[in-house]
Amino acid sequence: MADEVPSRDSVIAILAAHANSPRAVVPEQIDSLGVAWLVYEAERRFGIALDLDDEVLASMSTVTGAVETLQAARRQGASASA
């Protein structure tokens, strides 16, 4: 799974599993516990190591921001290993 690229669907699936709720009810806004779970799952599922400064954490407070942040981190990781 580490080769998987984080998508909106995968982020929503992670958050839905964390909240034990259907994907359709996952809100755009992510609370701090949701962000912590998402960071853990991103490292585990996608092999993404995030540099967790305040800016990165703030960017992950929405589903859209989390997807963009994870995809950028994935690209950086891919180019660093190339």
> What is the DSSP-derived secondary structure letter of residue 25?
G
In angstroms, the CA 65 to CA 22 distance is: 21
Mean pLDDT of the chain: 90
Reading the chain (82 residues) residue by residue, the pLDDT tens digits are: 566 789 999 999 999 999 999 999 999 999 999 999 999 999 999 998 888 899 999 999 999 999 999 999 988 876 555 5
What are the structural domains of the chain?
A: 8-81 (1.10.1200.10)
Asked if 52 and 12 touch (Cβ cutoff 8 Å), the reply is no
